[in-house]
Structures are given as C-alpha cells and as structure tokens.
Chain A
Amino acid sequence: MRLPRFFAKKRGHRRTGSRDWGVFGDGLFHGTLLVAGLCFGAILVSGVAAPEWRINHEFRESKGTILAKGLARTTVADPPGTVITSWRPCLRVRYLTDGTVRESWSHGPSAENTPDREAALRRLAEWKLGEETTCWYDPSAPQTVVLQRGYSWWLWLLSLLLPGALVLIGGTGLVRGLRAWGKSEEHRAASVGLSELLDPLAQPAQAAPGYPAVPVWDDLVNSPGTILRYRLPIESPESWTLVGFGLFAVLWNAVVVVLAVGAGLDLLGGRIDWWLFALLVPFLGVGIGGGVLFARSLVFATAIGPTQLEISDHPMLPGRRYDVLLAQGGTGTIRSLTLSLELEEQATFRQGTDTRTEHVVVWKQPVADFHDVSAEPHSRFEARAVVEVPQDAMHSFTSAHNAVRWRLVVRGTPERWPAFSRIFPVVVFPPNAELAAPPPRPLASRDALRSTEVTR
C-alpha cells in the first residue's frame, strides 16, 4: 500500500500540499470540532440543563419550615496562585416526604453563586427563620430539597450556543469534505447546490448575466448624473484611512477612559495603584496621538471638498469613447488635478497564516490634466473630457481571489493640503459584447437629465 505524498506539484515552480493529506487533515480538524461540540454539549446539558429541568418537572412539592440559614462559600483556584471566592445562600429546611419528616440544607441553583458577599447576604435576609414555605424535593433522593424553581436562561443559551457553534462548524466542514471525497476539482467546481451554503466565503463575486467572471455593474449606475447619464460612486482610500483612524481613536480612548475611571476611584478611596498609573500614562499618550491623527485626517477630508465624476454611458466597451464630467468642490486652489484611466490587477494569497492582497497598476492612460484649479463654496470646478477604452483591452474580471479592475482616478495636489486621490471604479465588458438593458430606473428622471444635457 502506498501512502499519499505530503507534497504534490502544482503548475510552474510552486509546490503545494498533497490534496489527500489536505482532505484528511481537514476532515480530522472538522471531526474534532464536531466531537468536541457534542461532548461539550453533553456536559453542559447533563451538568446544567438536565438538573434544572428535573427540578422543574420531576421534583415533588411539599411544605417546609426554615430552621437555619447561612452562606455557602466556594473557592476556586483561578489562575493558579490566586483564588476566586463565591457565595450562595443556604437554608436548612424541615419538610415532609411521603410521611417522613426530613431535615436538609437546600440546594440552590449554581447561578445563585455570586462573588459579592454583601449581595448574597441581602438575598439571604429575604428568608425568615421559622417561616413556612413551599419546597420541592427529589423523589429519588429525598434529602435533596430546593426552595426555588425556574430556569437560568443565560445558562441554557450558553449551553446551546457554544456547543451549537462547534457542531455547526465541524458538521458543515465534514459534510463538505464528504461531498468532495473522490471527486476531481473540475467535478467539485461544476457541482452546484449545497456548496454555496457550505462554503460561502469561497464563492466568487456575482457575475454579469451571460458574462462569467465579469462583475455586475448595477451598483455603479444607480445614481443619475446632473449633466451626464450616470454619476459614478467613489472609492476613496483616504476615506478608509479616516474610518480606520476614527475607529482606533474611539476604541483606544474607551480603554483609556476605563483605566482612568479605575485609577480615579482608587484615588478617591485613598489607594494608589502605581502599576495602574504607570500603564495609564503611555496609554493616554497613544490615545491623544490617535485622536490628533483622526482630527487631522478629518480636516484633510473635509477641507479639500468632494470630487464627482459623471459618465455618458456604462458599462464601457473596448474601442468606444465616453464623455466624462469632472467636478471638484470645496474652497481654495488645487495646483494640479489629473484624471486617468487605469487597469489594476489584484491578487489575494495566503502567506503563512496571513491573507494578503497585492495590487499592481499595469496600464495607465492620462485623460485630462488641469492646473491652478479654483473652487468656490457655491461654484464647483467642472470640466469635460473624453475617455477611450483601447480596442484590445482586457475586460473587467473578478473571481474569488483574483481580479482585473478598471477605474478612473482623480489625483489632486492642493496648494495648502497634502495630495489626494479618488478612485471611481468602472466595468469594461469584452469586445463586441451585446449589453443587456441597464437596470430599471425612473424614466422621467432620466429624460429630464438628458434634456438638461442638451440645453447646456
């Protein structure tokens, strides 16, 4: 018998892992998750859910008298070297079981455990010594008695959620592996149905009808232009930087506030935790830095003003010419404003445990170049230009890990601010494509816009 090889040759010079071992490892991983989920679920159900269910369904009701009360202390080492202590009210009850008088300490639900001793004492005070109360005892072990019934919903939720997630991930992985077992990669790729449900992340982007691997363009033509037919949506790298800085500043400073409140309460209580203060100082510095960076980016983003690009038709076809309208708002002077048509390749690959995406602009055609552009608050800069897609251009292409994207890029160098770039994605179809009708839009508004274009 020959064992599968650990490495198999792919194309070119790259070596990749053996598919047989990959399938085995994948199956082992998902099988382990499934078994762990089932075991974890069984433990939670038998340890938490089943006892509560028995108390509510199988324990018999009786009358009891409270004879004594106290707090039960539970001490757990967590982590090793330190201990966590929790408290739970306990009541000694005299009650009747099938003609026999018994005395026993009540067993409360584990959810009653609290690390706050004062809270446990307050709950204990609600019970009065000598008080007659309803109790429930276990018919199979009559010395087990409880004074309260009910469900700890969060425990039930926990006991379903965590094992449920493990069972779901492990089960779908196993089903996916079993469905692929013994099939060639062509057979798997040709199979339709459950694969999208079982592996949604591996599915390619939605393709234009009749044009496999050409991206849909609906999102690019759902906004009418003011002069030309469509206003293209913007994809601004600066906007994502702004969002990133904003998120970082908010999250980091939230941590700083929590630390500062803790330190302040310590100070008010007359204690000084020097470690906390030592930690707070660098955290505060980074927090202030993050806030300043965010504020600076926000000022840049808002000071330059919006850029808009309108186009006479979309999607684009090789060999055709299209009118574009570039509009730049804001105030001040922009020393240089350029518009170019670019073709970018994008490849996503795994490097160790990281997923990386590389972008390369492989073709670039300047369309228009403007100098000393002045924009006023109530009068934006506008200019028209013509874009021509080369006759032999590669069409827009998108798959799960690779893409060829066309885009119109506006780059500006303001007089007082850093340079900016704004990207307007477009879709280029294969040559001689017979385009379907664009997505439905209100005809009245389109006609109105067209008449605007004519009158200018």
Chain B
Amino acid sequence: MNTAADRSQAMPRVEVQFDRPHRQHEPRDQVAVRYRIEGCDGERIRAIEHSVLWYTEGKGEEDLGVHFFQRITDRAMMPPALSTGAFSTPLPQSPLSYEGLIVKVRWCVRVRLFFDGSRDFVSEHVFVLGRIPPARLSESRA
C-alpha cells in the first residue's frame, strides 16, 4: 500500500517557462516554451507529448482544439537522459481567449508524460491569446 510520502515522491513536476512575460500573446505570435521535468524518481518515461491547444470551460460540455501536437518517443530526448525540453509554434488568429459568463475559451500548453505501464501525468499551463476583456451580464455600451 502506498503511503502519502510514496505518492508525493512518485508525482513528477514539470516547470514551464514561456518566452513572453505574463504569458500574454497576440495572434500570429510565436509561442516558445522551455520545460524541465523533475521528480520522476527512477520511473521510466516511454513518451512525452507537447501540445498547444484551446479548450472551452463553463456550462457546456468541454470542447477542445489542438493547434500544435508533438509526440516524442526517442529515449535520448527524455529523462533520465535529458530532463529539459523546448518547443515553439506560431499561434493562430483565433479563437482568442475569452472569459464569458457561460462560455470561456482558454489557451494552454500541455506537457504529458507517459510512464511505463498505463500511468500518465499531464502538466497544463494556461496563457492568454488576444486582449478580449471579460464579459459582464447585459452590459450596454450605448
């Protein structure tokens, strides 16, 4: 039986650094990400996936649109051989990040680690695309 200490030891950490301060990007900007994987404690990683995507939040079912996807299975590109990684991609013109009342659109970078066996771990890092102010109920600008 795993103890709490064992579980915390088995929980990896992915530290992500964006190239832009405040993670604020404009459409057609290049988003560049560097990351470092720590705390795998000898667990073997068989694949790493990089993705840049948008998803919806709010009252509706979650929708997802993947803008960039990359799967790495080369052992030389992942821990323990290499604990850092980087990827970049130009951002699209839409959809822009949006903070609505029942519909929200969020952009994020995900780094997903697949361990030997069936376990996987995902690290998600939200950023903002565009400069749309949050919606407020029945706001009129007349």
- Chain A residues in the interface with B (C-beta under 8 A): 10-12, 182, 184-187, 189-190, 204, 210-214, 343, 345-350, 358, 360-366, 390, 392-395, 397, 399-404, 430-433
Contact = CB atoms under 8 A, between A and B. Distances in A.
Given A187-B71, A363-B135, A348 B93 contact: no
Contact of A365 (B27, B54, B65, B140): B140
Contact of B132 (A10, A184, A392): A392
Contact of A190 (B60, B66, B118): B66
Nearest to B58: A347
A393 B65 CA distance: 21
Contacts of B139: 362-364
Contacts of A347: 58-60, 102-103
B92 A212 contact: yes
Contacts of B110: 186
B106 to A, nearest CB: 9
A395 B56 CA distance: 15
Interface of B: 27, 49, 51, 53-54, 56-67, 69, 71, 92-96, 98, 100-103, 105, 110, 112, 118, 120, 122, 130-133, 135-142
Contacts, number: 139
A430 B103 contact: no
Contacts of A213: 54, 65, 94-95, 105
Contacts of A365: 140-142
B99 to A, nearest CB: 9
B101 A345 contact: yes
Contacts of A392: 131-133
A433 B94 CA distance: 10
Contacts of B132: 392-394
A212 B95 contact: yes
A362 B137 contact: yes
B135 A430 contact: no
Contact of B65 (A212, A346, A433): A212
A343 B138 CA distance: 9
Given A189-B64, A361-B138, A399-B63, 9 more contacts: A187-B49, A345-B58, A346-B60, A347-B59, A360-B137, A362-B135, A365-B141, A400-B63, A402-B103
B65 A186 contact: no
B98 A394 contact: yes
A214 B130 CA distance: 15
A392 B96 CA distance: 11
Contacts of B103: 345-347, 397, 402-404
Contacts of B56: 399, 401-402
A433 B93 contact: yes
A291 B69 CA distance: 57
A339 B51 CA distance: 44
Nearest to B136: A362
Most A CB atoms within 10 A — which of B27, B59, B130? B59
B45 to A, nearest CB: 14
Contact of B59 (A187, A190, A349): A349
A245 to B, nearest CB: 29
Contacts of A187: 49, 69, 71
A210 B65 contact: no
B94 A212 contact: yes
A428 B134 CA distance: 17
Contacts of A397: 94-95, 98, 103, 105
A190 B51 contact: yes
A394 B135 contact: yes
A431 B110 CA distance: 27
Contacts of B92: 210-212
A164 B141 CA distance: 57
